[in-house]
Amino acid sequence: MSAKLDRLKEIDAQLTKFSTISELLYWDMRTIMPDGGFDAHSDAMDYIETESFRLSTSDELYKLLQDLSEPGEWDQLDDMWKFNVKTMREEQERRRRIPEEVFRRAVAISTASERAWEEAKEASDFSIFAPHLEKQIEITKEIKSYTHPDMEIYDSLLDDYEKGMDSATVDRIFSELRDGLIPLVHEILAAKQPDDSKFNRKYDIEAEKKVQKLLLTYIGFDWSRGTTAESEHPFTLDLVPTDVRVTNHFREDNAIDPMFSAIHEGGHAIFEQNVDPRYGATPAGGCDYLGIHESQSRFLENILGRNINFWKPIYADVQKLQPEFADVSLEEFAAEINHVRASMIRTAADEVTYCLHVILRYEVEKAIFREGVPVSELPALWNRKMEEYLGIVPANDAEGILQDMHWSDGSFGYFPTYLLGSIYDGMFLEAMEADLGPIDPILAEGRIGEIRAWLTDKIHRHGNTRRPKEVLAAVCGREATAEPLLRYFRKKYSEYYHL
């Protein structure tokens, strides 16, 4: 065994300690930390992130990764360590090009910007956030001039969240989807809507928690390697692959959202839990490709969870745990979870209109970074597109351009991954049914474990070692296309809405 590889493993283990701590600080801040804990958590986080930045950009690691890339050493590495060395090297070369002053300035801008966004959203006043958004855009450009000097900036932003994805591909598949979807949505909205009066009631939150437990267990969440908590917005976080956590937000006015949040976050968690355990917490473990990650959460949430057959084996149990559903037939429940509405808020949207919410954000981001549209014009642009795609106009900034926090912390290029996930899902569903046959009877017979096994074999277990386009090639044997998703939508909603 190479002494250099041993040293790399030590450094990797140290980086894992840093990330365990910083993830735990984040988890605590978002779940139960009282207000008074903010400063101490932030101080501890700064310290850990600085130490982690230093080690991950250190000269020692730089030299080590170079040495391990030399033929004599390289040839002795197994596939996983080849992947790890290559990935760490690419990542490090980018990070090392960011001057520490710029890195620190970016952190400070994000902190101020996140607070300004909260304030602006509260006041529903974009002008409070606008100057911070401008700074956030500028510092993003500045950082990209160091990390990706040779790449078009918006492509490099996409690449941050979905390695190897490019805007030419995204443009192509998003246009394909948008052009097919807008007429479908208009048809659906013009059709007779299901009666949702039974769902307008007060729900017991403790019952919602029990249903979450049932759902997570049913879809295969491993409780010995995961846990749950509550937070304002649901999220999934892995401290390490053997400690993967999901949160939910339970509400008295809505018991269905928390169910689908549970299945969605559970889909993320199951992915992390099912990566090949040999990869551990090394760069190969887990999945950093957010489109691929989202494909798994959305496959569970939408392709499986919004299929009436998913509920057949468990709906009676749900009714027992949550008696508010006792007078709701399975068919009524299925109609409601597939109820398409033109609505303002992305996170509350149904699976069909959701796509248009994301396309809108993608187009706004391109307007910012490609067309140089000034920040002051963005709310109007947003509202015009809402009208065009969904026929509705936000009454204020809070339900319009201020609704998401992603731009406040500089996560430009993140939104498209949500929709990439759904587009991949259409493709995965076709590949899966080619292998296993139609999923309807599999779900109806409670054989969801067979579906999970397929996803694990084809996708989960590979973790980071296959990049998004490689996943599509390996699983579907073709390039990204929105056609299967469109077909899935047309078929399913033609039935529900008798189109």
Chain contacts with its own copies (rule: CB under 8 A): 13-14, 16-17, 20-21, 24-25, 28, 32-37, 39-41, 43-44, 47-48, 206, 222-227, 229, 239-240, 242-243, 281
Taking the C-alpha atoms of residue 475 and residue 11, their distance in angstroms, rounded to an integer, is 34
Show the tokens assigned to 152: 């078009």
Nearest-angstrom CA–CA distance, 412 and 315: 40
Beta carbon of residue 118, minimum distance to its own copies (angstroms, whole number): 17
Nearer to its own copies, 38 or 131 (CB): 38
Smaller CB distance to its own copies: residue 16 or 343?
Answer: 16
Q: 3-state class of 3 per DSSP? A: helix
How far from the centroid of its chain's Cα atoms is residue 139's Cα?
24
Phi, psi of 238 (to 5 degrees): -110, 120
The sheet carrying 236-240 orders its strands as 226-230, 243-248, 236-240
Closer of 48 and 390 to its own copies (Cβ)? 48
Tokens 């956590």 locate to 245
| Helices and strands per DSSP (H, E), number in the chain | 22, 3
Minimum CB distance to its own copies, residue 166 (Å): 35
Q: Between residues 225 and 320, which has the closer beta carbon with respect to its own copies?
A: 225
Find the Cα–Cα–Cα–Cα dihedral 197, 342, 162, 21, rounded to 10°.
-50
Q: How far apart are CA 319 and CA 459, in angstroms?
A: 33
DSSP 342: -
Q: Give dist(CA 301, CA 37) in Å, integer.
A: 34
CB of 276 to its own copies, least distance (A): 15
Radius of gyration of the chain (CA): 23
Q: How far apart are CA 136 and CA 333, in angstroms?
A: 43
Nearest partner of 353 among 481, 171, 186, judged by Cα: 186
Rounded Cα–Cα distance for residues 202 and 220 (Å) = 29
Give catalytic residues, as residue numbers: 265
Q: How many residues does the chain have?
A: 499
Site of tokens 């691929």: 292
